[in-house]
Amino acid sequence: MTTTNPSSSEQLEEQLIEPTPAVEAEEEKALTPEEALAVQVEAYQELQNQHLRLAADFDNFRKRRLAELEQHRKYGAEPFASNLLPVLDNLDRAKQSLTETSESKVLYQGLLMMHQQLKQALEALGVKRMETVGQQFDPAIHEAVSQLAMPAAPENSVIAEQLAGYQLHDKVIRAAQVIVATNPE
């Protein structure tokens, strides 16, 4: 028989008897029905508060987004207008300086300069004129206003442009009005 030190055996027994977290959780679960209901009500109220805060955050986001869209709708043309104002300024200057006795060559040169300036302003915004003459007719970018029998031109090719077509980046904003070649029969 071995003798054990009573003090170490008591320590071991105390360690084994100490409540573990699982045991403590079981003891907490042993709540009265009223206490359990109070815990559940508190958890419900916390979830309800979280829900209300989330709904308020979403509503604020929605209102902020609508305000941003309204601002964009209201002031979205600002870059366009800013690019065109110099052209308008030059037209105003030309109108003030021209008289009925102005030389037509000066008038023509001024008109060419303003045309070039307007073209550059539109190109800066991504607006470009589509090349159409000599190309195959494409209903996505062309609007046929007439057909003309032309034996020298390939059938369904664009032989003349009545009204220029324009694109904004890669989107057609105005289809070109064109005359299309047909085979004479």
CB 151 within 8 A of CB 184: yes
Q: What is the pLDDT of residues 77-94, one digit of tens each?
A: 888 888 888 888 888 888
Of 114, 129, 43, nearest to 84 by C-alpha is: 114
Residue 136 has pLDDT above 90, yes or no: yes
Q: What is the pLDDT of residues 38-60, one digit of tens each?
A: 999 999 999 999 999 999 999 99
Pairing label, strands 176-182, 166-168: unpaired
Q: What is the pLDDT of residues 115-134, one digit of tens each?
A: 999 899 889 889 999 999 99
Contacts of 168 (CB under 8 A, 6+ apart): 125, 126, 127
Which amino acid appears at position 13 of this protein?
A: E
Of 134, 126, 122, nearest to 176 by C-alpha is: 134
Higher per-residue confidence, 183 vs 17:
183
What dihedral do alpha carbons 86, 92, 93, 97 form, nearest 10°? 160
Residue 23's pLDDT band, with cuts at 50, 70 and 90, is very low
Helices (H), ranges, the chain: 6-17, 21-29, 33-75, 78-97, 104-124
Pairing label, strands 171-174, 166-168: antiparallel
Of 146, 141, 144, 145, nearest to 173 by C-alpha is: 141
Q: Provide the whole-model pTM.
A: 0.58
